[in-house]
Structures are given as structure tokens and as C-alpha cells.
Structure 1
């Protein structure tokens, strides 16, 4: 008879961001356990609250399924000696399987006969197998762990109780000093201990003790309550996804409520108010239908509505204290001059091995001018870029950013506008941090985009120069994310960006005036270039570009980063064309032979041609070359594919590797000219055309 299985791990309150990943991990590991132990089931459901992780598995049979497994042993020639007797290898093999040589049969595999035996395993009682779930529980991994009491064992939080049931029976095992039983705990303040007669009672009995164990149900309850509040007051309340998930995993029994703060605080920048509410207090901000911020907030209590007004007053008091500080900081910061803030940055370290933030700003200013000129900023944009690079970190020494680090850049923009800086300068100050996350928003303005690239390029170059190069998963200064941000901005803007040339120019500028910039940049091009190409690979992979196309593009001789993305897009778009396979195969044949060319200038002597195909290919190649640098990459791809019939005719009529050295060299030079054009697109010989 099939029965349900319930496992619940009772813990001290976990950090909200750990709850759902841990629940999912437990569910996955339990499912794997059942599969590996040949236990069938109908369904598996995972549950979680800040104080518990649980899984409920339905319809598990009373005994494991019997297993028949065919096991391959040594080859027949090894299993039998010259007299036809079983060798030690054969005897050892069957003994290891708990069988005898009488169980051996021979089967042919790829023309060779091997020893095979069929091993039969009788299923154990399910209750005996389930006691091994202890290993599943203790194998869970967490971003942070702790140990408690006298134990060396570490977990996300101390384990206080364990529920383990198979039907009405307790699954016996013990973790540290906690033994499994059928008793769980209700809400910390509203509920009582609860006993389960069988797993199916789990969600219902805990709900009676003010615990909603289904996180999706708990989240929907919060959504319904806040929606009702918004409807009643005709408010607009945006349910930020990350905040909603966090709040869901901070409570076991949610009750939403409204709090208020004084209207005078609305004179403080909106971002400060929202940050105070969202990031520090986990409140939802409230707006009019037109999006105007109102002096109210919505929060969620871990409990019922009893005496809710006291809870409201407590939350209002905490928020008011924080807003009072924010208002004071905002007023005081407006008394600071930007120049004095920049001067203070001379004494604020960027990194002990690299120098101050002021020195970083000086380097970034020089880098930004090089990049700005390369990507084609106009005169006004270059002026804004120069001014922005001189001051863009000044808000780091303001009171507001000291209290609310999340507002760096945002407050810089606001204070810059207050002090009369041009809008383009102020916008760049805010945008230079973008993207904040790998797939976060990108800067929109050209000046902000160049400043963001320059700031990240400086971090990349200086950390590499100081020997702090990411390895494995170790990347404490987020250089991978910053470089990925550079790639995304370039892709978005489609700017001409010859990274290796820019690197040389930047190195010469910085290293040429150490007194100004404070550090010597590394001249090991390969390390930084390879690091950047790895981020290009990451970006292309995120677009589900075929791996061989990515390899081909990255192995090209194209120096412009933007063109790498265009090349990958073009090749992906033409994969299904009828001309794609024969064209790539023809060009690949050319490229393989062109590798044998040892000349430098690829000069061709038409008088050495011996057949019409050579002449026609030469004419076609010259036509393609004439406009190659001025055409789009798509047009160049089409020009290359149009060479296919000339290439095929050429190889039909021409032997390239002839004995005559002069003729052979001339023919290889022609093929090298074709290969050079192809390599500007991609290393096409890396493409898989089968």
C-alpha cells in the first residue's frame, strides 16, 4: 500500500534570500534520492517559511522496486585462459557482483565478445531506505553557514526540530541531538506545537497554528491584501518583485497594513524616501494614480491583525527617525561645494595597491577622452565628458551617500544640478555606475556611456596591473561583471571599439605621466584581451548563438568589438540558407591552403596565371577588395559567398601546390587575399557545416 512521506526541518529564522533557493535545493535532492533508490512516487511538493524547509512526497510504495541490472565485465579473451578455464579476472569480477561464474554469458560489443552477468537486487522496505534521508538534509549547501553549541557541524541556522513520517510511522534518524518525530511548531507568537498523524495533514494543521507553509500561497495572500488596500484608497502600489519575494520569506502569517509619515519629508528627493522605505524597512511606497509619491507606506506584519495599530505606530516611529536623518543630511549636503568634495577624495582610498579615488578620476578622465574621440562624440559631448570625469565621484564624501550607499551617483546627479552643472554632466554622474547588475539597465546618454566604460576599463586595467586577476570563482572586485558591462554598452551603442588599439593608447597615456595617474599599467596584452573576449563569449552565449559560430567570431582578425556581435548575428541568420554550407566549405578550403603562404604583402602577378579560372577568381577578388572597407559586414558576407563559384572552378582547374615555387607562391598569395577578407568576418574554418 502506498503512503505519503513528509520531511520538515525546523530552524531558527533564515535570511529571506536563502529561503526559496534552499527549499528548491531540498526538493531537487529528495527527488534525486528517490530516483537513485528506485522509489516511485506520484508527486513531490516543497514548502518553506523563515523557520522551516519541507517536502511532501505522495504515494510512495512500501518496498523498493526489484532491480535487474546487466553488468559488463572483461573481454572474453581475458576471462578465459588458454585451456578455456575461468581466469582470476573473471572470478574476481563475478565475486564482486555477489555471483558465480555460472552466471556468466558472453555478448558481442563492436566486434568483441565480453563477459556479462545479470544482477538481481531485491527491494528493501521503504521505511528502512528513508532513514538515509538524513544524508540529504545534511548535504544541503548555503551561501553562509554557522555552527552552534559544541558541534563542528555547520548549517544555515541551528536545527531545532525534525519531522519525518512515512504514512503514520516515524522515519527514524538523528541529526546532532535532534531526533525525528511527528511534532512541529506553529507561529512563534500565535501558534502552538502541532502533531501530525500522517503527512496529508501537514498544510492544514500548520495553517490552524498561523503558519502558511506554501510560499506561493503566502505571496498571493500578500498581493491580495495590498491590492485591496490600493483599491480602497485609490492608490497605486507597485509590487516590486524582489521586495515582494523578500517580504514573503520574512513572514509565516502575513497581514498588510498602512503607515504614514509627515508630508514635510516629501521635500527630500524621492529616491531617498523610496530607498529608506524599500531597502532599509522593507516597505512598499504609495503613489497617486499619476505616479506622485504620497506620505504613506504599506508593510506586512508577521502575524494577524490583533492590536495592529501598535504595530503601525512602531513602524512609523522607526521610519520617521530615518527620514529625519535623511532630511538633515540633504540640507547639510547642499552646503558642500563640489570642489571641496573632490579635494577630499585625495584622501579616500580606491585600493591600497592602486591609489586614491582622486587618482582614479584623473586616469578615467584621460581614458574617457581617448574613448570619446574614438567613438565619435561631438564637441559639446566631449566638453561634458571632460567636466563629468573631473567630479563624477564627489558624492561619495557627502552625508547622504555615507548613510545610503545605494544612492551613489543618484545623489551626485541631484547635487550637481543644484550647483549649476550642465544636465549632460549630471546625467553622466548617475549613469557611470550602470549597469549595476549583469543584465541591469544600461546608460542612455553617450557621455554617460563613455564615462561608464572608462571607469570600468580603469578598474580592469589597474587591478590586472596590481596582480589581482580573477581566478576560478574568486572575483572580489567584480571585474567580470564590470567587463561584461563594458561589452553590453558597446553592443548597445554599436560603437567602433578596437579594444587592443585603445589599450595601447591608454597605456601610453597613463604610463607616460606617472606623477599624474599614480600607477603603471600592465603591458601584458594577452591577459586583459583574453579576459574581455571571455565576456564577449559570455554575451554571445546568452543570446543562444551556436558555439562554433562564437569560436569562429572570436578567432577572427576583427579588432572592433561591435563587429564581433554583427558577425555572429550574420552567420546565425544565414545558417539555413541553401548557399551557406557550400560557401563556407569553399572558403574553408581556401583558408586552410592560405595558411601555407609565407609571404608578407600578398603581391599577385597575373602574368603567372595558367588558366581562365585563375584569372576570373583574381578579378572577382579584386572587385570584392575594392569596397571591402566601406561596405557593411552583411554586404561583405554576401561578397564572400558570391566568390564560391569562382573558388570551386579554381580548384577544379588549378593545382595550387605545384613544384614551380614562383607559381605556387603566386597562387597561395591569391588565396591569402581571400582568407584575409574572410578572417575580417570570422575564422570560418571553425564552423561546423555537416
Structure 2
């Protein structure tokens, strides 16, 4: 008879940002354990609140299924002597399987007869296997850990109780000084301890003690209550997904309420108010339907609807103090000139191996100017780039950014406008931080995009030049995010960037500034390898086949927009009938082209047959066509090469004894390879 399983780990309040990931991890570990043990079941459900992680497993089989396996023993000539008597080897073999020689039969494998037995294994009872579940609990990994009391074991937070039930029976095991049972704890203030009857009643019983265990249900309750309140008040309340997720994991029993603040605070920039409410107080800002902020906020209480007015007043008092600080900082910041702020940056270290923040700004300015010339910016655009690059970090020493780091760039843009900078420069200051995540918003302006690109390239070049390259999951300076930002900006703006030369220029700037740099060639190689890994990851996210990713990334990388188009084009045609013979033909060309180790001018007078002349004509056509063709058009051109290449190899021996003819033929193939290899490394493509 099948039975359900319940496991609940009771903890002190976990950091909200780790709750969901921990719930998912627990579910995955349980599913992996069930698969490893071969236990049949219907479904696994997971739950989490700030104080608990839990799973239920529905309809688990009472035991592992019995199994019968063929076990191979010694060869027949070893198992029996010439009289057919069993040898010690045969007797030892069956004894080890718990059987007798009467159970032996012979089967031939690759011309040799071997002794076999059918071994029956009785499945272990589920109740006995479940005693191992302490390993599941202790096998979870967390970004942050702590230890408590005199225990050496570390966990995300101290474990206070464990509920472990198989059907209505407690699964017996202990972790540290906590023994499993059926008693769980309700809401910290509204609830009490309660004995769980079974996995089937888990959610219902927790609700009786003011705990909603299902994260999705809490999230929906919060969203619905906010929508109802906004409808009643005729408000517009944008729901920030990250904030909703965080608030969901801060409460066990959510109740939405609202509060207000003085209208004079609306004189502060909206970004300041929203940041204070959203990032520091976990409040949802309230707006009118035209998008203007209103002097109200919405928050979520971990409790019921009693005494909401008192709770609202407490939240208003806390917010009022934060807004007062923000107002003071904003007024004080306006007394600071940009020039004075830049002087302060000379005393702020960006990194001890790289220099001050002022040093970084100077280098970014040089990189930005060079890139502006490379991308054919106008004189006025270059002037804006240079001005933005010269001041774009000045807001780091302002009071508001010091108190609320999330406002860097935003306040720089606002303060720049207040001090007379033009709109283009101010916007570029704000956009210089974009994208702030791998999928974040990109700069919308050319000047902002170029400044963001220059900043990220200089950061990457600086850290790579001192050999501070991310390893494993360790990336304290967010260099992976910076590189993804570089890639996305270049693709979005369709800018072509010679990475090798740019990285060399940056390293030279670092060295001129007194930075002790690594050998340039070594640094450029590591930079390119790091770039290639990011490109592979981004292409994999686009569902491009692995070997096609390798082929595209090994091609030309200066134009990343084209690289992604090439990969997509290869992926699209990879199942076409013509693809395999074309890849095989181009691969043969590439393999032979590697045999030429010098530069040779092709001499048409050395051609000996029409297939040789025809292929050379096709090569010249391809070279001309590739200049302006799209990735799809280039593949069509390459498709047409397959027949001329095939005829060439049918009628022409490349590696002839005559050195001049051999070298001339290799040179022709090398010229074709030079064209094709910029598109993709076709010999990396797997065709079957």
C-alpha cells in the first residue's frame, strides 16, 4: 500500500533572497534520492516560508521493486575442469551471490562461454530507507551559513525542529540535538505548536495556525490584495517582480496595508523616493494613473488584519525618518560642485593594484575617445563623450549615493543637469552603468552606450592586466557581468570592435599609469578565452547546437552581431540535406590548408585541369560575394561551393611530388580557408 511522506525543516528566519532557491534545492535532492533508491511515487511538492523548508511526496511505494539480474562469472574453462566438475572459482562465484552451482548456466560472449546466474534481489522497505533522510537535510548547500551552540555543523540558519512522517508514522533520525517528530510551529505571534497528522493535511493544518506554506499562494494573495486596495483608492501601483518575491519570502501570513507621508517630500526626485521605499523599506510606491508619485505607500504585514492603523503609523514613522535623511542629503549635495567632487575621487582607491577612482576615470576617457573615433562619431558626439567620461563618477562622493548606493548614475544625471551639463552628457552618466544585470536594460543613446562600453572594457582590461581573473563561481568584481554587458552593447549598437588591439591599448594605458601588468600576449589570450566562454553561454541560451556554437565562436569575433547571426543561420540549416556534404567538403579544404606554412601567391599558369581552374573562379566569386552578404546569403554561397570542391578533389591530387604545383594548390585551398574560417570553423561541426 502506498503512503505519503512529509519532511519539514524548521529554522530561524532565513534571508528572503535565499528562500526560494533553498526550496527548489530541497525538492531536487529528494527527487534525486527517490530516483537513486528506485522508489516509485506520484509527485513531489515543495513548500517554504521564512521559517521552514518542506516537501511532500505523494503515493510512495512501500518498498523498492524486486529485481532479477544476470550476473556474469568466470569463463567456462575456468569454472569447470575437463571432467565437468566445478572449480573453486565457480563455487566462490555462486557463494558470493547467495546461490549454488545448480543455478549456473552458460552464455557465449564474443566467442567465449561464461558462467552466469540469475540473482534475485528483494527490494528494501521504504520505511528502512527513509532513515537516511538526515543526509538530504545536511546535503543542502547555501550561499551563507552559520553555526550555533557548540555545534561544528554549519547551516543557513539554526535548525529548531524537524517533522518527518511516512504515512502517519514518524521517520526516526536526529540532526545535532534535534530529533524528528510530528510537531511543527505556527506563526511566531499568531500561532502555536501543532502536531501534523499526515502529509495530506500539512497545508490545511498550518493555515489553522496562520502559516501559508505554499510560496505561490502567498505571492498571489499579496498581489490580489494590492490590486484590490489600488482599485478601491483609484491608485496605480506598479508591482516590481523582485520586490514582490522578496516580500513573499519575508512573511508567513500576508496582510496588505497602506500608509502616507507628507506631500512636501514629493519635491525630491522620484528616483530617490522610490529607492527609499522599495529598496530600503520594502514598500510598494503608489502613483496616480498619469505616473506621478502620490504621498502613499503599500506594505505587507506578517500577520492578520487586526490593529492595521497602529502598524501603518509605525511604518510611517520609520519612512518619515528615511525621507527626512534623503531630503537633507539632497539639499547638501547641491552645494557640492562637480569639480570639487572630482577632486575627492583622487583620494578614493578603485583597487589597490589598479589605482584611484580618478585614475580609472582618466583611462576610461582615453578609451572612450579612441572608440568614438573608431565608430565614426561626429565632432559634437565626441565632445559629449569626452565630457561625460571626465565626470561620470562624480556622484560617488555625494551624500545621497553614499547612503543609497542604488542611486549611483541616477543622481549623477540629475546633479549634472542642475549644474548646467547638457542632456546628452547627463543621460550618458546614467546609462554608463547599464546593463546592471545579464538581461538588464541597455543604454538607449549612442553616447551613453559608448561610455558604458568604455567603462566595462577598461574594468576588464585593468583586472585582466593584473591577473585578477574570475575562477569557478568566484567573481567579486562582477567581470562576467561586465563582459556580457560589452557583448550586448556591441550587438545592440552593431559596432565592430577589434578586441585584440583594444585590449592591448588598455593594458598599455594601465602600464603607463604605473600598474604592474602581466605580459600583454598572455593577457590578451586570457581575455579572448574569457570572451569566448561568455559568447558560448549566450548562444546556448538561444538554443544553438553545441558544435555550431564552437564553429561560430572560432570564426571572426570583431563583429559580434554578425557572429550571433552566423550561429543562428548555421542552426537553422543544420538539418538541411545539403548541409552535411558542404561541411565535409569545407572540412577537407581546412585540413589541407593547414599544411601550407608560408605565404604564396597563386599562379594560375600552374593549373593543370579545368576542375582546378573552376574552383579558383568560385573562390574569387565567394570572396567578392562575402563582402556585403548576410549570414544566410553567405551560407547559400558556401552551399554552391560543394560541387566545385568535390570535382576538384576527384580530378586533382593536391600532394603531388612537384613542389611548385603542390604549393600552388595548397595556396588556393588556404585562400578559400581564409575566407570560410572567418565565417565558421567547419571542421568543428558534427555531421552524421
1:233 offset after TM fit, Å? 0.6
Q: Could you tell me which residue of structure 2 aligns to residue 310 of structure 1? A: 310
Which stretch of the first structure deviates more once superposed, 158-167 or 333-342?
Answer: 158-167
Of 672, 675, 680, the match for 1:674:
672
Query: Which structure 2 residues correspond to residues 608-687 of structure 1 after superposition, within 5 A?
Result: 608-626=606-624, 628-687=626-685
Question: What secondary structure does 1:469 align onto?
Answer: coil
Corresponding residue for 2:161? Answer: 161
Contact 2:64/2:126, CA 8 A, preserved across alignment: no
Cα offsets for 1:340-394 (capped at 9, x unmatched): 1011100000011111000001111111112222222222221111011111110
Separation of aligned partners in 1, 2:92 and 2:381: 80
Task: Check 1:102–1:490 CA distance in 2 against 1; reply closer, same or farther (3 A cut).
Answer: farther
Map 1:509-548 onto structure 2 (within 5 A). 509-511=509-511, 513-514=512-513, 520=517, 522-523=519-520, 524=522, 525-548=524-547
Matches within 5 A, 1:16-27: 16-27=16-27
Query: 2-side partners of 1:78 and 1:470: how far apart?
Result: 59
Partner of 1:221: 221
Match of 2:548 in 1: 549
Contact kept? 2:615, 2:644, Cα under 8 Å: yes
Shift of the 562–216 alpha-carbon distance from structure 1 to 2, 3 Å rule, reads: closer
- Aligned mates of 2:519, 2:414 — CA distance in 1: 37
Q: Deviations over 1:195-237 (max 9, x none)?
A: 2333332222221111111222222211221111011011111
Say if 1:28 and 1:336 are closer, same or farther in 2 by CA, change over 3 A. same
Q: How does 1:431-510 map to 2 (within 5 A)?
A: 431-510=431-510
**Residue 112 of structure 1, CA deviation:** 5.6
Look up the SS of the partner of 1:152 in the other structure.
coil
Looking at structure 2, the residues matched to 627 and 199 of structure 1 have their Cα atoms a distance apart, in angstroms, of: 68
Q: State the shift of 1:58 in Å.
A: 2.6
Point out where structure 2 has 5 or more consecutive residues left out of the alignment: none
C-alpha distance 623-6 of structure 1, shift in aligned 2 (>3 A): closer
Match of 1:286 in 2: 286
Cα distance in 2, alignment partners of residues 536 and 332 from structure 1: 45
1:235–1:114 distance in 2 versus 1, CA, 3 Å: farther
How far residue 398 of structure 1 moved from its aligned partner, in angstroms, is: 0.2
Deviation at 1:106, TM superposition (A): 3.8
Moved more, 443-452 or 324-333: 443-452
Give the Cα–Cα distance (whole angstroms) in 2 for the partners of residues 383 and 427 of structure 1: 14
Secondary structure in 2 aligned to 1:347? coil
Contact 1:370 1:506 in 2 (8 A): no
Give the C-alpha shift of residue 506 in structure 1.
3.5
Report the Cα distance in structure 2 between the residues aligned to 1:629 and 1:219, rounded to whole angstroms. Answer: 54
User: Equivalent residue for 2:11?
Assistant: 11
Closer, same or farther: CA 74–458 of 1 in aligned 2, 3 Å: farther
CA shift for structure 1 position 257: 0.3
TM-score (norm 1): 0.94
Partner of 1:149: 149
Structure 1 289/605 Cα, relative in aligned 2: closer, same or farther at 3 Å? same
Deviations 1:29-57 (A, max 9, x none): 22333333343333322222111122222
Looking at structure 1, the residues matched to 336 and 266 of structure 2 have their Cα atoms a distance apart, in angstroms, of 22
Q: Name the counterpart of 2:578.
A: 579
Alpha carbons of structure 1 residues 453 and 72: separation in structure 2 relative to 1, 3 Å: farther
* Offset at residue 284 of structure 1 (A): 0.7
Residues 121, 663 of structure 1: CA spacing in aligned structure 2 closer, same or farther, 3 A cutoff? same
Give the drift of 1:542. Answer: 1.6
Structure 1 stretch displaced more, 499-508 or 187-196 = 499-508
Instruction: Kindly indicate whether the alpha-carbon contact (under 8 Å) linking 1:461 and 1:521 is maintained by their aligned counterparts in 2.
Output: no
> Mapping of 1:110-189 within 5 angstroms?
113-189=113-189
Q: Supply the distance in 2 between the matched residues of 1:371 and 1:78 (Cα, whole angstroms).
A: 78
Separation (CA, whole Å) in 1 of partners of 2:635 and 2:557: 14
Deviation for aligned residue 1:182: 1.9
Deviation at 1:274, TM superposition (A): 0.8
**Aligned mates of 1:96, 1:297 — CA distance in 2:** 73
Q: Report the equivalent of 1:567.
A: 566
The structure-2 alpha-carbon separation of the partners of 1:497 and 1:664, relative to structure 1 and needing over 3 Å to count, comes to: same
Alignment check: 8 A CA contact 2:276 2:323 kept: yes
Q: Which 10-residue stretch deviates more, 670-679 or 573-582?
A: 573-582
The answer for unaligned runs of 5 or more in structure 1 is: none
In structure 2, relative to structure 1, the CA distance for the partners of 1:458 and 1:14 (3 Å cut) is: same
Instruction: Work out whether 1:245 is the aligned partner of 2:239.
Output: no
The 10-residue stretch of structure 1 (613-622 or 46-55) with the greater mean CA deviation from structure 2? 613-622
How many angstroms apart in 2 are the aligned matches of 1:308 and 1:297? 14
Distance 1:375 1:114 in 2: 73
Q: Which residue of 2 aligns with 1:330?
A: 330
What RMSD in Å do the two structures reach over aligned CA positions?
A: 2.3
Matched residue, 2:375: 375
Provide the rounded CA distance (Å) in 1 between the counterparts of 2:197 and 2:569. 64
Report how far residue 498 of structure 1 moved: 1.4
The 3-state SS of whatever aligns with 1:181 is: coil
Deviates more, 1:614-623 or 1:265-274: 614-623
SS at match of 2:33: helix
Which SS does the other structure have where 1:140 is aligned? coil
User: Quick one: structure 1 residues 687 and 65, their matched pair in 2 at CA, closer, same or farther if it must change by over 3 Å?
Assistant: closer
Per-residue CA shift, 1:126-151, capped at 9, x if unaligned?
33332222222222221111111111
TM-superposition CA deviations, 1:602-623 (whole Å, max 9, x none): 3122222222222222223223
Conserved in 1, the CA contact under 8 Å of 2:334 and 2:415? yes
- Is 550-559 or 326-335 further displaced after alignment? 550-559
How many pairs are equivalent? 685
Matches within 5 A, 1:256-405: 256-405=256-405
Whether the 8 Å CA contact 2:363–2:509 is kept in 1: the answer is no
Distance 2:468 2:378 in 1: 36
1:159 CA drift (Å) = 1.4
1:255 paired residue number: 255
Measured against aligned partners, the alpha-carbon deviations of 1:67-112 in whole angstroms (never above 9, x if no partner) come to 2142544562685477577677666655554445544444455666
Which is further off, 386-395 or 179-188? 179-188
Moved more, 373-382 or 271-280: 373-382
Local SS of the residue matching 2:180: strand
User: In 1, distance between residues paired with 2:628 and 2:510?
Assistant: 33
SS at match of 1:53: strand
Query: Does structure 1 retain, via aligned residues, the 8 Å contact 2:163–2:183?
Result: yes
SS at the partner of 2:416?
helix
Match of residue 688 from structure 1: 686
Q: Per the alignment, in what secondary structure is the counterpart of residue 156 of structure 1?
A: coil
Cα-to-partner distance string for 1:446-482 (whole Å, 9 max, x where unaligned): 1111111111111111112222122222222111121
Partner deviation per Cα, 1:135-171 (whole Å, 9 max, x = no partner): 2222222111111111112211111122222233222
Residues 1:174 and 1:387: Cα distance change in structure 2 (over 3 Å): same
C-alpha separation between the residues in 1 aligned to 2:290 and 2:562?
Answer: 43
Deviation at 1:503, TM superposition (A): 2.2
Residues 330/577 of structure 1: CA separation in 2 closer, same or farther (3 Å cut): same
